[in-house]
Amino acid sequence: MIVTTTKLFKCAYGKYAIGAYNINNLEQTVGLFRGCLDSKAPFILQFSQGARKYTDKLFLEAIVRAADQVYPEAIFAVHLDHGDEATCYDCIDSGFYSSVMIDASHFPFDEKAALAQEGGPLDKNGKPGGTKEDARLYNNIAITRRVADRAHAKGISVEAELGQLGGVEEHVVGTVKLTNPAEAKDFVTRSGCDSLAVAIGTSHGAFKFKAEPGKKLGLHFEVVTEIKKLLPGFPMVLHGSSSVPKSEVDRINAAGGKIKDSSGVPEEDLAKAGKMGVCKVNIDTDGRLVWTRVHRELFRDMPEKFDLRDFGKPFIAEYAKMIAGKNQMLGSAGHLEEVRAALKKA
Ligand SMILES: [Zn+2]
């Protein structure tokens, strides 16, 4: 059953975080549903812009509609991950999505900041050389406000981003800049967003933390605590929250892979964040690692095989196992029936 993201957040706030998993194909989708049902967890299924373009968004949406029929007991929301303004509108108008993320975090904070920016305002493509009118239209608050107004008219909620996560996103290459809590409050109030991706030290991709002497590894919980104080009850979101287990990377490399110096977010940090108002934790990289490990090992160990299903079946099982483990860690495992009961009451 596809439900609104807002409803899931209401159930989860302050108790646990809901896993938000990026999906690209059928095998991942089946593994996701099985893993979430095995662990009895509500979940968020999300598509990036890249996933929507990989084959065609219609294929992805059809796979999810089918999964909803095949697994009628599942409770989940469908979310657009890191959308630009045009993609957000496409998803809002499609009627299929529970929520969208507008990522305008690479634009100046507001009109004033856009005008004051060195090199002047950005144009609608985020390139320097914009006009005064661009400063008014293309800043993080104005863009998020437009998307929120249009989404809310259709009962869809909006995630926005403030501050800059490290690592590589699909159209944002950022260096880590922690979210400023006072700015977060101002941003939420003025933009009308329903949840906020906060930068507290997580980053995208497989290379998250660099161990440096004297530098603290892990997440900046003081930022979460402060935002919670300023915006009580407001859901926070963590991006780039894969754990990138060393054992997984070692197995990939032992089977011919070349993934170097990778590191992820400590799992105990994510569990803690879930109790502090972080309602959604995005996990993508760990899923990619499972796919790569399973296929590399099977290609190595079963060189005589050439049936797609001989590789797909073990992948689905391993992906489901990984998902169930994540839900245990985030605390969402075991809450499915409680969420179902809450939905019935509402
Ligand atoms: Zn992200």
Domains of the chain: 5-104+139-345 (3.20.20.70)
CA of 143 to the centre of ligand 1 (A): 18
Whether 56 sits among the annotated catalytic residues: the reply is: no
- Measured CA to CA, the distance from residue 75 to residue 147 in angstroms comes to 26
Task: List C-alpha distances in Å: 93 to 7, 90, 155.
Answer: 20, 5, 11
| pLDDT for the residue 236 | 97
Give the residue, 242 or 137, on which the prediction is more confident. 137
Element (H, E) at 64: helix 57-70
CA of 299 to the centre of ligand 1 (A): 31
CA of 254 to the centre of ligand 1 (A): 29
Question: In this model, does residue 130 exceed pLDDT 50?
Answer: yes
Residue 97 pLDDT grade (very low, low, confident, very high; cuts 50, 70, 90): very high
- Measured CA to CA, the distance from residue 237 to residue 67 in angstroms comes to 25
Task: Provide the percentage of residues in the chain whose pLDDT is more than 70.
Answer: 92
CA of 76 to the centre of ligand 1 (A): 19
CA of 82 to the centre of ligand 1 (A): 6
Task: Provide the percentage of residues in the chain whose pLDDT is more than 90.
Answer: 81
CA of 169 to the centre of ligand 1 (A): 6
| pLDDT for the residue 346 | 76
Catalytic position from the list 38, 56, 68, 81? 81
The token pair at 56 is: 């065609």
Residue 207 pLDDT grade (very low, low, confident, very high; cuts 50, 70, 90): low
Q: What's the whole-number mean pLDDT along residues 319-329?
A: 98
CA of 208 to the centre of ligand 1 (A): 13
Question: In this model, does residue 135 exceed pLDDT 60?
Answer: yes
Summarised one tens digit per residue, pLDDT across range 249-305 is 999 999 999 998 777 888 888 989 999 999 999 999 999 999 999 999 999 999 999
| pLDDT for the residue 164 | 66
Question: In this model, does residue 172 exceed pLDDT 70?
Answer: no
- Ligand 1 (ion): which residues have CB within 5 A? 239
- Measured CA to CA, the distance from residue 262 to residue 246 in angstroms comes to 8
Question: In this model, does residue 205 exceed pLDDT 90?
Answer: no
Q: What's the whole-number mean pLDDT along residues 242-255?
A: 94
Question: In this model, does residue 214 exceed pLDDT 50?
Answer: no
Residue 173 pLDDT grade (very low, low, confident, very high; cuts 50, 70, 90): very low
Write down the pTM of the prediction.
0.93
Q: What's the whole-number mean pLDDT along residues 17-40?
A: 98
Residues in the chain: 346
Residue with tokens 């290609």: 299
Considering the chain, what is the average pLDDT of its residues?
Answer: 92
Summarised one tens digit per residue, pLDDT across range 287-297 is 999 999 999 99
| pLDDT for the residue 170 | 45
- Measured CA to CA, the distance from residue 33 to residue 74 in angstroms comes to 7
Q: What's the whole-number mean pLDDT along residues 155-182?
A: 73
